[in-house]
Amino acid sequence: MSELSIRHIYRWDLDKTYLRTEFDSLRDLIRTALQTPEEKVNVPGVVTLLKELTHQNDGSRAMVTFISGSPSQMRPKLERKFEIDGIRPDVFILKPTLQNILKGRFRAVRGQVGYKLENLLKVREGGPAAPETLFGDDAEQDAFIYSLYADLAGGKVERDGLFEILDRAQVYSATRASILERFARMRVDGNVGRIFIHLDRHSAPGRFWVYGPRVVPITNYFQAALVLYADESLAVEPVFRVAAGMMLEHGYGVGELANSFQDLIRRRHLDREAIDRLADEAHGSEVLEQLPVGFVERLLGRVRALAPRGRSGAGRAWEGPPDYLGVLEADRRLREKIAVEPGLFGRRQ
């Protein structure tokens, strides 16, 4: 590890957060396993944003960790993909899926709560103390896991409460014991901040309301860049570089980016002050040369025209922590409902 001090830690999921990966069917799994590193596709804007976040400056650097549910057998291909993208994770953890199958731990093959929480605590235990930002998606339970991790780091969940959550989540007893041991040694400093959830499955953003304003559902990484800019974690130039990359490499238009901006205001993750500050700081930016002529005026003009009237100020009152047991119970009822609803060819199994 570099001797530079760590100014920030970014923790990422991989599939559906960094890579466009399909694994909903056996055919998807086989296709994903057979893909070469060159065939794997990034989520638009993710590489540019990650490079901007980890850009070295002021004698410090950012740390990047990936904890993925992909099987460990994928490591050579995925490491080659990172190399192609110019990304160098400090930590890259993959799931021991084959070992779980051989040991008959079938719940651990699909379950993510025990696996990801244990590894988040493990990496934190051996790592530096610095502010943390987390990136996941809506395909599994990233919002639940990341929020619980943040509340453990903030001292908002006690041991008995954690035990009951892990028990209700059906985490294997050995994994549960490991998590509780690491929790007992955990540094409590409340330094876990934003949690971004990429809406790969187009989940309704309201689904994540229960986790409080710390969790921001995003449809693309221009939205993540805007929120980080509003948080003063990212300067204006990187925001425009993410926009330029999405327009030039992925075909986004000014209208789509404006709609993404306005969507954050409508959901109260940004306020009108962000528009005014962006307009002021955009003047003279060399990055604008990479964007279409009049980009800022067209972008902000459309955002102002669409922004809700009569309401200012982002955020909402929130005390937290979420009702984790209630969320698990709601998820259980939803799974049972899906299981009994008739599918196209009859009753689902």
> What pLDDT, on a 0 to 100 scale, did the predictor assign at position 275?
87
> What pLDDT, on a 0 to 100 scale, did the predictor assign at position 36?
93
pTM for this prediction: 0.91
Q: Around Cβ 334, how many Cβ atoms within 10 Å?
A: 10
- Domain spans in the chain, listed from the N-terminal domain onward: 5-218, 235-311
Which among 127, 264, 157, 147 is positioned nearest to 195, based on CA atoms? Answer: 147
- Burial status of residue 27 (CB atoms within 10 A of its CB: 0-12, 13-18, 19 or more): exposed
> What pLDDT, on a 0 to 100 scale, did the predictor assign at position 309?
64
Mean pLDDT (10-residue bins), the chain, 349 residues: 82 96 78 89 96 86 95 94 97 91 84 95 94 95 97 97 96 96 95 96 93 96 97 93 94 95 92 88 85 91 77 68 94 72 44
> What pLDDT, on a 0 to 100 scale, did the predictor assign at position 311?
55
CA distances from 164 to 129, 161, 171, 347 (A): 28, 5, 10, 33
Integer distance in angstroms from the first to the last C-alpha of the chain? 49
| CB distance 261 to 305 below 8 Å | no
Measured at the CA of 327, the angle between CA 325 and CA 333, to 5 degrees, comes to 105
- Burial status of residue 129 (CB atoms within 10 A of its CB: 0-12, 13-18, 19 or more): exposed
| CB distance 62 to 9 below 8 Å | yes
Residue 201 and residue 194: Cα distance in Å, rounded? 21
Between helix 236-250 and helix 254-266 the angle, nearest 10°, is 130
> What pLDDT, on a 0 to 100 scale, did the predictor assign at position 337?
72
Residue 88 and residue 157: Cα distance in Å, rounded? 33
> What pLDDT, on a 0 to 100 scale, did the predictor assign at position 310?
57
- Burial status of residue 13 (CB atoms within 10 A of its CB: 0-12, 13-18, 19 or more): buried
Residue 226 and residue 240: Cα distance in Å, rounded? 10
Q: Where are the alpha helices (DSSP H) in 171-310?
A: 173-184, 221-230, 236-250, 254-266, 272-282, 295-306
Positive or negative, the CA dihedral 277, 283, 287, 293 is positive
The CATH fold of domain 5-218: Rossmann fold (3.40.50)
